Structures are given as structure tokens and as C-alpha cells.
Amino acid sequence: MSRASSSVVWATPLPLGRELRPATMAAQLVRTELELFPSVVDVLPSTTPDTVIIVHEGPARPAAWRAELEEAGIL
């Protein structure tokens, strides 16, 4: 998902509503599902147990991200 760009990127915490362990695996799982969102640059683990950090260009879309994760059965 990583790409070179001169755009500004943002980091938005996305609460998952449940803890996925280990945190690095949760981030990888979410990253894979959110690949269809071109604005999502990366997904990182968080120090908060049920949250991942979405690195993205442009506006945050937490409702759309959560809907995709729910459809995929992650949430």
C-alpha cells in the first residue's frame, strides 16, 4: 500500500470495537481489507488494544472503512 507521494497524509485512529491480537496482525488484516480505498496509504497497530491507525490522503472515512470491515466479517 505504500506509495511515494508529495501529498499530505493523515493518521486517524479507527476503533474496531473489539481487540484483535496480536496488534500487528490486526493492522495487517485491516490493511488487506482496506486496499480497495485508494486514499488509504497504510494501517498501523496502535497502543490502544482495539484500535488501528489508518494513514490516508484526503478526508477520513471511518464509517466507510468500518462498513467494509463489517462486510468482510472482521468487525
* pLDDT, tens digit (0-9, with 9 covering 90-100), for 6-57: 578 999 999 998 887 787 888 999 999 999 999 999 999 999 889 999 999 9
pLDDT (0 to 100) of residue 6: 54
Give the range of the structural domain holding residue 48, as residue numbers without chain letter: 9-58
pLDDT (0 to 100) of residue 67: 96
Q: Of 23, 16, 2, 11, whose CA–CA distance to 58 is shortest?
A: 11
The answer to whether position 70 is within a domain reads no
Q: How far apart are CA 27 and CA 20, in angstroms?
A: 9
Distance between alpha carbon 44 and the CA centroid of its chain, in Å? 7
pLDDT (0 to 100) of residue 64: 97
Number of domains in the chain: 1
Q: Of 66, 2, 75, 73, whose CA–CA distance to 34 is shortest?
A: 66
pLDDT (0 to 100) of residue 5: 52
The answer to whether position 29 is within a domain reads yes
Examine the pLDDT at 3 and tell me if it is beyond 70.
no
